[in-house]
Amino acid sequence: MGTRTEGLLGKLICVLLSCLMVMAAASSRATIMGKVSNTKFHHHSERLRRNLLANGLGKSPPMGWNSWNHFWCDINEDIVKAAADALVSSGLSKLGYEYVNIDDCWGEQVRDENGNLQAKNATFPSGIKALADYVHSKGLKLGMYSSAGYYTCSKQMPGSLGYEEQDAKTFALWGVDYLKYDNCYTDGSKPMDRYPIMTRALMKAGRPIYYSLCEWGDMHPALWGFQVGNSWRTTGDITDTFESVMSRADANEVYADYARPGGWNDPDMLEVGNGGMTKDEYIIHFSLWAISKAPLLLGCDVRNLTKDTMDIIGNKEVIAINQDPLGVQAKKVRTDVEIWTAPLSGYRFAVLIVNRDQWPANVTTHLEDFGIPPKTSVTARDLWEHKTLETPLAGNLSANLDPHTCKMYLLQPIS
């Protein structure tokens, strides 16, 4: 009896040990799988967060002023303050021009003893924080400039390569709202490797900062920029000539499908008011940037605006095309006499007819070319004449254009 009991007890102990081993293995596997699952989820979450940038900015193309086109390196804090004052006093800030952006040459040639960027004492003696406070007091936002290289493009100050987190924290501490990030004096690595480092640095800086990639379009940033920044240059630098404007509009249009709220194609800053073109050519320039959903960053001396310049950059109806919440960039539907069109919110359409040639042009185009259904009548609002055509259009739209002029219409279906 004792021997049988001892035998049964031994078997029972073996069964219990086996069960415990199975439970331990299952528990261990669950723990490991949990860790793997959590790791995968964390990685996916982080990647999604990086791709979306998560700063909530750029819902519409940014509007404001940048120092480079007019002042180049001859910039100082007094000019920046005066530009902010001018945006307010002229009424431009109420139209949406809110960014006051300092381009290259604002900093000392070397970092301080702690490795921080420092404002150039000769031209920005009050420092960037004080300047940001001044700009913010006007209800505006301050933008700054750096480069994804060892130096900025002027080679007069350090770039941010290798200092991304430190510089992003510095910009946030100063109260910066916008960063234009250039592509000079690099280490030879690809921009799609260097630019995301600043993306992650800005995300951890503790302040929403609009991120503008200035890669010049070399590596087609429209194809990867939306995962990295809020806008991306699709072209080389603009100059104050009609040929430069048109060539950049052409290059930018290639990437129209990649623009959307939160991420915009950028054919460079506006030259309106700098004196190199006629008023009609500047109207074409502003109209193309507006319908292309490009950033509207003034590049002239806003302290001394002429009436002609104000009439162009202050056109509320054209600005509304640029800021339309649908956020669809225009495309060309004809190229002999150029016709650009973009759908807008509320089932409306923007149409821009451009005569870039040296002789007059008579244009007739079909409404169906713009995506308007057949047999649909539309009202047509001339956005530069500020008047609605008396007779609704049905089927066709016609216009007569002098050399280097344009017509811009807002079409609203009525039947």
Distance CA 323, CA 321 (A): 6
Tell me whether strands 231-233 and 264-266 are parallel, antiparallel or unpaired: parallel
- Is the distance from CB of 325 to CB of 262 less than 8 angstroms? no
Sign for the pseudo-dihedral over CA of 293, 312, 285, 234: negative
Q: What is the rounded (10 degree) CA torsion for 64, 330, 320, 202?
A: -40
| Amino acid found at 203 | M
Report which of 328, 315, 326, 325 is spatially closest to residue 382, judged by C-alpha positions. 315
Count other C-beta atoms under 10 Å from residue 116's C-beta: 13
- Is the distance from CB of 142 to CB of 131 less than 8 angstroms? yes
Distance CA 228, CA 196 (A): 6
Sign for the pseudo-dihedral over CA of 167, 169, 171, 173: negative
- Known active-site residue 187: no
- Quick one: which H or E segment has residue 45? helix 2-52
* DSSP codes of every residue in 125-160: TT-HHHHHHHHHHTT-EEEEEEESSSB-TTSSSB--
- Is the distance from CB of 75 to CB of 252 less than 8 angstroms? no
- Both tokens of residue 364? 């007739």
- Both tokens of residue 311? 């009439």
Distance CA 27, CA 321 (A): 60
Catalytic residue among 177, 182, 268, 324: 182
Catalytic residue among 85, 133, 237, 308: 237
Strand, helix or coil at 408? strand
- Known active-site residue 382: no
Helical H segments across 224-336, by residue range? 242-253, 279-291, 307-313, 316-322
Distance CA 75, CA 77 (A): 7
Long-range contact list for 30-36, CB < 8 A, 24+ apart? none
Report which of 65, 21, 18 is spatially closest to residue 273, judged by C-alpha positions. 65
- Is the distance from CB of 278 to CB of 404 less than 8 angstroms? yes
Which residues are known to be catalytic? Answer: 182, 237
